[in-house]
Structure 1
């Protein structure tokens, strides 16, 4: 299979990361105009599943899997539904860049789960990268305070940070299970099953609890439509270009997403961060990239 020039592959990944970031901006617009969080999960997952199904149909890729593998994919889909809800709940409560930065500690979660399971032991350099990432996150969240200042700040952002952290914990678990349960399964087929089951589970939960709420105006509908379009197109294009990448390590470029959100959140949503918070964001992204590239 012909590979792209490396510069082109990196440029495409930067565009994909930016489109992923726009998905979160669109989600915040939808939530601010009456859309419930679970509705966003239903539309995003369902739209992505349809896009992937169309892609697999065009490429004539078989999607039949053994029953055990299918059941495992459905379990992972349920976890993805929980992760998606938590992440969007964080986006609805925090500046979008801070929500995604907190979520992006999931490589640390995956590393610790693998360590606890006896699969692999991280090198000291990886542990240093984790500490640096947590320090940068504290700067980005502006929680490097003590006493009453910390209490006030936590009262302001605590619920959103808790949701983003929960999303990170669940997604780290998903990565661990993916590597063990679905190893060797075509990534497109794997994502189709998990996104489809995620959408069905979210819709069932929303219907049972009465939490399904559509936008109450045109702006909200635009946000809901765009979050579905941005996420579905980004994940579909990612799976199309991934086999053509010269180096799989280049996928670390997708960590540009929270950096893009710093600027998109400011330009579109008017969400501003202090210089120390922006510096913290760059520290987090750099540390996570270092962690991902560290050899175990």
Structure 2
């Protein structure tokens, strides 16, 4: 069976930019739900449940076997638990700090993935990669407004520190998940791997809620707006996640992946338009440095 024909470059770029904006909208909807007292576990359960249904329908339609190869299950379980942790940490960060800021911190995962790959026996980062990592971290200092916070006499809020820590933890979990996917589960078809991952996320989140591991994790929204936001975040996440894996073979991801880094920019704009959240000029410049560095870091030259 011949591989699917890739989309024209301009169409692939437009589709990836559209998907990035959809995923950005998911985070904005999540913040609205959290502002209406929705629990983080409930949000993750809703989005993983809807996405699981969509991916299960896709796998059945493709008539794939539901049994991964021998020795796969432990790694598949680990992947699902890592994505669960990433989801919980990122949504918890979104509930505490401006959404765009949480996404900027979480999007340093390419740096962490490069370092993790090196630590586990892979090639060390090249000089170019190391310089770009330093540039990203430099930009992140300004995106987080660290100089102003250090020079201020006001005490740094614990909520801000916790939010940044959670976003960083989400980046660590996602980098680890990508390493597992690339080195241990690359033989699995993308749609089946994604379905099994969502199954683990749904089961783990449900278990955590029933065991009350996170106080208030299953708390219902206190208004109709909160329920609508939960529905929107589940729909947007399911749409973005499913379309990405359906069309991935035709998107030339090795060449076009940097386009997905428009997500923090889209989040910044949506956060301003919908939530009234706005970063100051220094933070915007720092954010631009971070996004530009990540684009260059993930860019690969093609002949």
TM-score by length of 2: 0.93
1:229 pairs with 2:232: no
Q: Distance in 1 between matches of 2:129 and 2:154?
A: 31
| 8 Å CA contact 1:144, 1:150 repeated in 2 | no
Q: Distance in 1 between matches of 2:161 and 2:205?
A: 25
Q: 2:138 corresponds to which residue?
A: 135
Q: 1:249 corresponds to which residue?
A: 255
Q: After TM superposition, list the pairs within 5 Å mapping 1:164-203 onto structure 2.
A: 164-203=167-206
Q: 2:119 corresponds to which residue?
A: 116
1:24 pairs with 2:30: no
Q: After TM superposition, list the pairs within 5 Å mapping 1:138-177 onto structure 2.
A: 138-145=141-148, 147=150, 149=152, 152-153=155-156, 155=158, 157-177=160-180
Question: Does the C-alpha gap of structure 1 residues 294 and 130 become closer, same or farther in structure 2, counting only changes over 3 Å?
Answer: farther
Structure 2 SS opposite 1:57? helix
1:132 Cα deviation from its structure 2 partner:
0.7
Q: Residue 6 of structure 1: which of 4, 9, 18 is its match?
A: 9
Listed one character per residue, the Cα deviations across residues 187-220 of structure 1 (whole Å, up to 9, x for unaligned) are 1111111111111111111111163112121100
Question: Does the C-alpha gap of structure 1 residues 221 and 127 become closer, same or farther in structure 2, counting only changes over 3 Å?
Answer: same
Listed one character per residue, the Cα deviations across residues 64-122 of structure 1 (whole Å, up to 9, x for unaligned) are 21242123211211121111100000000011000010000111111111111121111
CA RMSD of aligned residues (A): 1.7
Number of matched residues? 295
1:52 pairs with 2:55: yes
Q: 1:282 corresponds to which residue?
A: 288
Q: Distance in 1 between matches of 2:76 and 2:121?
A: 23
Q: Distance in 1 between matches of 2:37 and 2:85?
A: 21
Q: Distance in 1 between matches of 2:256 and 2:127?
A: 23
Q: 1:271 corresponds to which residue?
A: 277
Q: Distance in 2 between matches of 1:91 and 1:150?
A: 26
| 8 Å CA contact 2:105, 2:164 repeated in 1 | yes
Question: Does the C-alpha gap of structure 1 residues 139 and 154 become closer, same or farther in structure 2, counting only changes over 3 Å?
Answer: farther
| 8 Å CA contact 1:5, 1:246 repeated in 2 | no
1:148 Cα deviation from its structure 2 partner:
5.5
Listed one character per residue, the Cα deviations across residues 30-60 of structure 1 (whole Å, up to 9, x for unaligned) are 1111211111111111111111111222233
After TM superposition, the structure 1 stretch with the greater mean CA deviation from structure 2, 6-15 or 170-179, is 170-179
Structure 2 SS opposite 1:94? coil
Q: Distance in 2 between matches of 1:186 and 1:118?
A: 25
After TM superposition, the structure 1 stretch with the greater mean CA deviation from structure 2, 63-72 or 266-275, is 63-72
> Which ranges in structure 1 are unaligned for 5 or more consecutive residues?
none
TM-score by length of 1: 0.95
Which aligned segments of 4 or more residues in structure 1 are displaced greater than 4 angstroms?
none
Listed one character per residue, the Cα deviations across residues 214-264 of structure 1 (whole Å, up to 9, x for unaligned) are 212110001100110000100111112211124622022111000101100
| 8 Å CA contact 1:126, 1:294 repeated in 2 | no
| 8 Å CA contact 2:96, 2:159 repeated in 1 | no
Q: Distance in 2 between matches of 1:190 and 1:282?
A: 33
